[in-house]
Amino acid sequence: MNMLKGNSPDPMPVPSLMPVLSRGKHRTPRSGACFMEFASYLAGEAWSDHPACTHPLVASLARMVNDCTSDSSRTRLVPLIPSVIGLTGDNPRVRLLIAVRAATAALPVSSADHQRALAVGILNCERQLEGLDGELPDGLAARIRTAFDAAPETERWAREFIASMGAWSRTKFTDRTAETIIRVSVQGIAEACTPNPDDRLFELLSGVIEDATRVLAPVEPVETPSESVVLADDARGADARPARMRVRG
């Protein structure tokens, strides 16, 4: 270490076994890591791009975003990795929220070949979510409307297509359905003629993690005293205060 006067200490070396994000699957941390392999490493699991610590669809999207992000921007994904560790569960809303998040992000910028599939996927997710909750989560209806406003002819075609298919459009929405929508979405963003596909992919993954966290790991509300307790405490406090001393004139 160089400790001569006027010079700062040499920087601490980076551990040689810390994985570096790169595209694809890797046999060991020494050869690099994709997003989910890095997550398995941090979680203390066996080295894998399909670790048990993360919901399968969150992991699937993370792998796709990792592989479609450019080499120069991929390290930006690293701070998101800890947030997927422990993000597991079987709530059926998760697959729908992930799929509709991906499709609404991709629809405005995707090619016409992808737009029709994405529009049908959005409408399917919308119907499924309304069937579960009676209404869409806060903000989702506006996000769907914004996406369709960018491709009104595609929306019209998708609604007519679903109406013409009858019972087929009422089939069960599975993880496989969601994964197909995710794959088309990520591919559509990555191939889009837009100046910032890496930013869009990062925002998509961030949004999916937030959606999944709200459903699978909601923050417990902080208990606040009831109004009656607060009023009672105020009353006791008033009685406990000493009476103001009267000054003789």
More confident residue, 156 or 165: 156
Q: How many residues does the chain have?
A: 249
108 phi and psi, to 5 degrees?
Answer: -65, -20
Give CA torsion, residues 145, 150, 151, 153, to 10 deg.
Answer: 80
In this model, does residue 229 exceed pLDDT 50?
no
Burial 69-86 (b: 16+ CB within 10 A, else e): beeeebeebeebbebbbe
Please report which confidence band the pLDDT of residue 56 belongs to, taking 50, 70 and 90 as the band edges: very high
Q: What is the mean pLDDT of residues 182-206?
A: 96
- Each residue's pLDDT tens digit, 25-54: 999 888 899 999 999 999 999 999 999 999
Q: What is the pLDDT of residue 121?
A: 96
In this model, does residue 235 exceed pLDDT 80?
no
Q: What is the pLDDT of residue 126?
A: 94
Q: What is the pLDDT of residue 227?
A: 41
Q: What is the pLDDT of residue 138?
A: 79
In this model, does residue 224 exceed pLDDT 80?
no
Q: Which residues contact 177 (CB under 8 A, 6 or more apart)?
A: 95, 99, 121, 124
Of 23-27, 76-80, 195-199, 233-237, the least confident: 233-237
Q: What is the pLDDT of residue 243?
A: 39
Of 10-14, 160-164, 190-194, 227-231, the least confident: 227-231
Question: What percent of the chain stands above pLDDT 90?
Answer: 67
Contact 173, 125 (CB under 8 A): yes
Q: What is the mean pLDDT of residues 191-198?
A: 92
